[in-house]
Structure formats: C-alpha cells, structure tokens
Structure 1
Amino acid sequence: MNGHFPLGEIKPWRYFFILGFILASLFTLVNDDETRHVVEVFLQWQLQVHSGSLFFIATHLFLTSRLSGLNSALKLLVSAFIASLFYAPVSLLFDVYWLHDTDYTLAALVQECSDMIPTAMFSWLVVNLPWLTGLSLQRRTPLPETPPDTPTLAIAHTIPISPPLAPLKAAEVIEPETKKLTAFLQLATVNSVDEIVYLKAELHYLKVVAHDFEKLILFNLKDAISALAEADEQHTMSQTHRSYWVNRAYIRSVKSKGRQATLLMSNDDKVLVSRNNMQKVKAWF
C-alpha cells in the first residue's frame, strides 16, 4: 500500500490525544467495577492512557537514531518493548495505590510486564499503521502560476536574497543516488531533493513540504538529513532549528529581530531559526 490517507492536515499531537481519549473512554465504558464512580474511572483511564502514550513517544524519539540500522517496523517494535518494560512499574502503581487491588511485589511486576508488553507492542504498531504502510496525511495546494516577487517586509529587519536556484539536470548529476537517499525520496514521494522546500520534525514523524503538497511520514529528521547528505554534503549545514531543515534554494528572505529569526520560504511558509544557528544562517546571505 502506497497511497494517501485523506484525512486532512492532522497534527501528530492531536492524533495521539484524540486516539488516547477515545481508547480511555472505551475502557471506561467496559469497566465493571461498581464500587467506584464513573468519573473516577474515566479520569484514571485518561491519565493512564495519555501518560503511557507520552512515555512511548519519548522512548521512540530517544531510540530512533540509535536504531537507524533497523526498518520502521522493527524500530517501533523495539521501542515499544523497551517502553513497556520501563512503563510497567509505573502502570502497576495505578493498581496498587489507586485501585488497591494488589501489592507492589516482584510477582505482581512480572505479571504486569507479561500482560502489558505483547498488547503494547501490537497497539504501538497499529497506532502508527497509516505511516508504516506508506499511507500519509497529505495536503495538496495549487502551484503558483508565476514565481512570487521578493517581498519587502516592513517589520523587523528583512534581507532579500536571489531567486531560487534552478534544479540540476539529469546529465549534470555525477554520482548516482545511494540506496539510503533513494529510500527516503520514495517514502517522501519526491523525485529529487530539489522538490523539497523544507522538512519539519513532528514527534517521531517528519513533515515533508514541497511546493504542491505536504506529507507526514514515519521518519527521523536526523536520518533524513543524513540521507540528503549523500546527494550533497552541504545539506548537513542546512538545519536551522532542531525541528527544521531547509532547502536553501527556496529561501525567499530572512527576518531577524534581536536574537530571533524567521525564514520566509518560496511557498510563503515560515521556518524558525534557533539562536545557535543564527550566525550560520546570516552567513548564507
């Protein structure tokens, strides 16, 4: 499956929150404990599901670059296993101190791990299934008929730059793309790096922004930059923020104010520049 998941532009944070809310609500409905008020049960499940979701996301983000040799499915399984192993003691606390239905013993912890790990690993795969199978949350926008003029920004300090560079012709490419770069371009559904305007990290996903579409894929920004560097080593210098990488050919202008800066891209999107990258970005102009 390599189609599109036409649900509009859904942010990962919203996706996980809504999904967690629905699951916690379902767990509340099937609860058979008549000794507790339904509101208490609802709050318990909301807290348990959302804290678990945040723990799994944080674990995957921490491990994703360390598991760069594995494919996406294996990364998810390994991160889910490790997250389950470390979250099980936290989950057991709910049973001990909130539900009062067990003691905090080694036997209870082993039982909690055996109950949680298989279900959690399967659920983590299912939650990420749209991106794992090649489906995507994508928004397409019409291409501009003519390139926009370099704007003059009245606020702050604006530095206009030259128009975007023309993409390289096939005959000008000296070295063929490596497998790593090719795999990334295929997942991003672009033919070359020249089609990408910028990349933005969103949780353990990556938003690929071109002039005519945006696509959210299951990929890490650090790994993406490493793949792009195989086409041109200069791409490693194009990260402007911990969450952003830009194609310098499509920067229209930079607006700086004090120690803050924002890049205006050729598709009218704005990209953040961190303080640590200010001097590097200014040197581009």
Structure 2
Amino acid sequence: MTDPAKTIIGFIGLGLMGRPMCRNLLKAGISPIVYNRSAPPREELVREGATAVPSPADVARLAEIIVIMVADTAAVEDVLSGPHGLLQTLRPGTLIIDMGTTAVPATRRLAALVEEKGAAYVDAPVSGGTIGAEGGTLTIMVGGHDEAVARAKPVLSVFGSRITHVGGIGAGQVAKAANQVIVGLNIGAVAEALALARAAGVDPARVREALRGGFADSRILEVHGQRMVEGNFAPGGKCTTQRKDMHQALEFAATLDLDLPATALSRDLYDRLIAAGDGELDHAALFRLYERTI
C-alpha cells in the first residue's frame, strides 16, 4: 500500500478547494510539488513548505502521484494535454488522480491517453465544499481500476473521511454529477421555502429551526439555510461552479437520452443569478433571486 509520506506527490490547482487540500498534505508531513496558473497561491504554499514548479510538465518529471484540482473540464484537458501538460513528460507507473468535476466522456478519453503512457488514472471528485476541504472530511467518489484505486486511497484519506469506489474509470464523475443534481435542487428547495416564510411575515430563521430533525432536514438546510438566513454568501462553492456542474450533468444525461427537467430549471435559475452579477457568490446565494421579489 502507498505510504504518502514516502511518496513524491504533485498537486495542481490551488483554488478555493485546492489550497486547503494541499495544506492537509503539509499537515500530514508531506511536502508536495505544486503548480498553479497564478503565482500568489504557489508562493503562499511555498512559504508553508511546498515546492513550486513552473508547469504541469515539471510536476510530471518529479512526482509519482499527481492530484489535479482545477476548475473545469477544459482546465483538466489543458493540464494533461496542453503544450506544457503532464502528458509531455509523464513517466510509466505514475498515478494521476483527478479530484475536480470533469465531464464523463472527457474523463474516459483522458484516462486512455494516460494509460497509453503506461501510467494510471483515477477520477475522484469530491463533495463537502471548503468546509470539508479545510477539515479533511470531504466525501470522495472514486472511479478507476482496482489496483489504481488501492494505490490512491492512502492519499485520498488525507483529504476525506468517506471514500467510496463506485466503479470503473468515469464512475466517480457519474456519482459527482448525481451529487450536483441533488445539491442544486436542494438549494433551490431551501431557498424557495425560506423565501415563502419571509414573504408570509414569519422569521425564516425560526422556520429553519422548526424543520431541523424532520423529513425536510438536510445538510443543505443546515449549512446553506443558515447562510440564507444570515445573508452570508462568501463563496464555499461558487454559483458559476454549481451552474457549470448542472449543465455538465444535463449534457451527460442527453447522451443517455435522459430528460432532467428539474435540473434544467435549476440551471436556468443559476443563469439568472449569474446574469444579475452574483456568479462569484456562494451557490446558496440562489436565495437572492427570491429576496428581490419579497
């Protein structure tokens, strides 16, 4: 089994999620080799003990296991197959772990390119937001071959408390698509319920408290409902990201001839919110659509 402390680990992508995840590697006694497109996050992590390199290709020259945590499918494709991407210098035996939310067809295509180099690929998207990233308590949905997943798990355990091997390559991303459908629709339900309470002249905070412990309770009601009540929309997961993930789920569903009308409606609501200038806020800011009409 992989011992992360004795393995050279690369980490690419130091955004809202990547930075706290990388810090958990440092807390575990691992000094990762890091790359990020913008310099300030790299410099920040270097001050804390990481080693920065100028490109993904440089990460691949050095690391045995490489974690990718970037914004979207296009970014993953650039990290892997761009002019300075991992595939330029990828060595046989290297393990790539994509922990972002990447389209299923692209995941399978990129995995095939990695395997052609004699390396291994695991898709391991996460749920839990910045709270889970900071606490090392992310829920991780894993797709990949048994041997590669077994090798990845000790590293994944640094980031998450619940790790489930869902199936072959791409299965983790299918599970994440399902996750984002549920999250998006649940945020919409909580937003509408609390907006209903406020419009009726009843304190949404008390309504939220009354619902806790019953069938309407959920992690979304607990965390995002509190954000809605307080009007605190500092981003843990951005509206633009939620919209992107739901659109990605709809595109994948279309390849299966599956209609997801509620998901499409939720995606469209996020489009309205983003058009109003709130795209960089937390996805719980969907509540603001309703606040404006109360």
Which structure has the greater CA radius of gyration? Answer: 1
Structure showing the higher helix proportion among its residues: 2
Same structural fold, with TM-score higher than 0.5 when normalized by the shorter chain: no
TM-score (norm. length: structure 1):
0.29
Structure showing the higher strand proportion among its residues: 1
